C-alpha cells in the first residue's frame, strides 16, 4: 500500500517547533520521475517497530553525507560540510592545491550548537568545516586516528577529540552512537581518491590535498525510544561489520563506480532491509546550498540506477531522496 505523501514544508515547520510527525515524506530529486521514489510497502515481515516517549528527533541533510540531528535540545552532526567551494571535481579536473576555506557565516547559520560531531573520514567534503565548528562550539569530535591528528593540527583542543576505531557503542543518554569500521568508495580504477593516513600530527592542513581519507567509519545513531539510523560517508562497507545492526533508516552513499561487487544488494541484505532508505552523496556539493539540490549530469543516471537497484533489492523499503535543510522526523 502506498502511503500518502506529507507536505515537506509543513513537516519542516512542525519539526522547527519540536512537534513529532509520523513517517517521512518521499521527495523527488530534480528531474527524476515520481514513481522512482514513491513511498511504498511496509516494514519487512517479522520486523516490529516500537516508539516510546523519548525526545523528538529531527534530521536535516547538509548535502554530501552531512547531517544535523536535533534530539530535543541536543544537536549531533555527521560529516558537516557547508562551505561548498569549487575544486574542479565536477568539471573533470580536480585541483588538489585548492586552498581550504570555510564559509563561516553559512556554517554558523546552520549547525546550531552541536555537542557531538561524527566524522566518517577526513576528505575535505567531510572534514573541512569540522575544526571551525569544534573550536567555536566546544563540540566533541569522534573519528579515526587521521581525523584525530588532523584535528590537532587544525587547532581543535585534544580534550575535544575522541579516537574511535569501530566496535564502540557510546552512550550519550538521549542517544547512543555505535561506531562501525567501514571502507571508502573505490573509483573505476579500483583505487581511492586522496589516499593515505596521518598517524602523527602533520602541519596545519592548507589545501584539499592535505586531507587524505585516512580510514573510513560508519555510524549508527539510535535515539532513545526512537529510530536507529545508519550513516555512511562513502559507498563501500564491511559486510560482517554491518550485519546485525538492523537500522530503521539507512543513509546510503551513491557509488561512483561499479568496482564494489553487488554493493546495494549486499548492503541492504546485511542491514536487514531498512524500513526507509535515503540516498546521499549524489549532489553537486560545489554549488550553493539551494533546493532542488543540484546534480551533475554524469551523476543523474547513477542516482536513477541506484533508486532502481534499491527498489529491486528491497521492494518493501521506502525510498526518500532528501532536500537540503528540510526537517525530517521518523516515527
CA separation for the pair 238, 231 (Å, rounded): 14
| Tens-digit pLDDT profile for residues 65-123 | 999 999 999 999 999 999 999 999 999 888 999 999 999 999 999 999 999 999 999 99
pTM of the model: 0.85
Q: What DSSP string runs through 80-137?
A: --------SGGGT---TTPBP---HHHHHHHH-S-SEEE-S--SHHHHTTHHHHHHHH
Q: Are 78 and 120 in contact (CB under 8 A)?
A: yes
pLDDT in tens, the chain (331 residues): 333 222 322 222 222 222 222 233 343 343 333 222 233 233 344 444 444 445 689 999 999 999 999 999 999 999 999 999 999 999 988 899 999 999 999 999 999 999 999 999 999 999 999 999 999 999 999 999 999 999 999 999 999 999 999 999 999 999 999 999 998 876 666 666 777 888 899 999 999 999 999 999 999 999 999 999 999 999 999 999 999 999 999 999 999 888 899 999 999 999 999 999 999 999 999 999 999 999 999 999 999 999 999 999 999 999 999 999 999 998 6
- In order of their start, the domains of the chain are 57-265 (3.60.15)
Q: What span, in angstroms and rounded, lies between the C-alpha atoms of 41 and 25? A: 14
Question: Could you tell me whether strands 66-71 and 228-231 are parallel, antiparallel, or unpaired per DSSP bridges?
Answer: unpaired
Classified as helix, coil or strand, 312 is: helix
Amino acid at each position: 500500500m502506498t502511503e500518502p505523501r506529507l507536505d515537506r514544508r509543513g513537516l519542516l515547520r512542525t519539526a522547527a517547533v519540536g512537534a513529532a510527525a509520523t513517517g517521512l515524506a518521499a521527495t523527488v530529486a530534480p528531474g527524476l520521475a515520481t514513481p522512482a521514489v514513491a513511498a511504498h510497502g511496509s516494514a519487512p515481515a517479522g520486523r516490529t517497530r516500537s516508539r516510546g516517549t523519548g525526545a523528538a528527533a529531527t534530521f536535516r541533510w547538509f548535502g554530501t553525507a552531512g547531517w544535523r540531528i536535533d534530539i530535543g535540545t541536543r544537536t549531533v552532526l555527521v560529516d558537516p560540510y557547508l562551505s561548498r567551494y569549487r575544486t574542479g571535481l565536477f568539471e573533470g579536473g580536480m585541483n588538489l592545491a585548492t586552498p581550504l576555506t570555510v564559509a563561516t557565516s553559512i556554517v554558523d547559520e546552520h549547525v546550531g550548537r552541536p555537542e557531538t560531531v561524527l566524522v566518517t573520514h577526513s576528505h575535505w567534503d567531510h572534514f573541512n568545516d569540522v575544526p571551525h565548528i569544534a573550536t567555536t562550539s566546544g563540540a566533541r569530535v569522534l573519528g579515526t586516528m587521521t581525523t584525530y591528528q588532523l584535528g590537532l593540527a587544525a587547532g581543535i583542543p585534544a580534550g575535544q577529540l575522541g579516537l574511535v576505531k569501530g566496535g564502540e557503542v557510546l552512550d550519550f543518554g538521549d542517544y547512543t552512537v555505535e561506531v562501525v569500521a567501514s571502507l571508502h568508495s573505490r573509483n573505476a580504477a579500483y583505487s581511492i581518491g586522496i589516499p593515505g593516513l596521518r598517524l602523527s600530527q602533520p602541519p596545519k592542513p592548507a589545501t584539499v590535498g592535505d586531507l587524505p581519507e585516512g580510514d573510513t567509519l560508519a555510524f549508527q545513531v539510535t535515539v532513545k525510544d526512537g529510530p536507529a539510523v545508519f550513516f555512511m560517508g562513502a559507498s563501500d562497507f564491511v559486510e560482517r561489520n554491518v550485519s546485525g545492526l538492523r537500522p530503521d533508516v539507512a543513509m546510503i552513499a551513491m557509488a561512483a563506480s561499479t568496482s564494489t561487487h553487488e554493493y546495494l544488494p549486499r548492503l541492504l541484505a546485511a542491514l536487514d532491509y531498512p524500513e526507509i532508505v535515503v540516498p546521499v552523496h549524489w549532489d553537486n556539493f560545489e554549488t550553493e546550498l539551494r533546493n532542488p539540490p543540484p546534480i551533475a549530469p554524469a551523476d543523474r543516471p547513477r542516482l536513477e540506477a541506484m533508486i532502481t537497484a534499491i527498489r529491486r533489492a528491497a521492494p518493501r523499503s521506502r525510498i526518500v531522496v532528501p532536500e537540503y535543510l528540510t526537517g525530517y522526523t521518523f516515527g
